[in-house]
Amino acid sequence: MMDHINELCKSILQRDVRFVLNDKKVLRRGKLILFNTKDYFITFTIDSTKNTRKIYEVYYPFSITDNKAQNRLEFGYRVEDMSNDPQIHVHLLNAISKKDPPSQFFGSQMYIYYDGA
């Protein structure tokens, strides 16, 4: 999985990107300069539209795909992206407090839209 993520992230280096949560909220935008994977995080270095360099850190996704038709990488943070087993879904959902989810990403999809170069 890590090699797959590295390959996909390398393919969008030096491109204009937008990080969007659930296809609604734009989290970051700019030119992707660098990325690094460490522990449970992927760290992206972005030259923002305001000509400042920003670091953006996201959790390692449960799944990742390249949707070339829509020019985006799709990071899955949903329980169903982790496993197809309904018993695992129930166990995980019971283990996590609904009032205090561990991250804004949990149960969501994050998309990295990239220019079509």
Q: What is the pLDDT of residues 45-65, one digit of tens each?
A: 999 878 899 999 998 898 999
**Predicted local distance difference test score (pLDDT) of residue 108:** 87
CB-based burial, 87-108: b 16+ in 10 Å, e otherwise: eeeeeeeeeeeeeeeeeebebb
Q: pTM for this structure?
A: 0.81
Q: What is the pLDDT of residues 86-115, one digit of tens each?
A: 676 566 666 665 556 567 777 789 999 999
CA 42 to each of CA 95, 116, 117: distance values in angstroms, whole numbers, following the listed order: 25, 23, 23
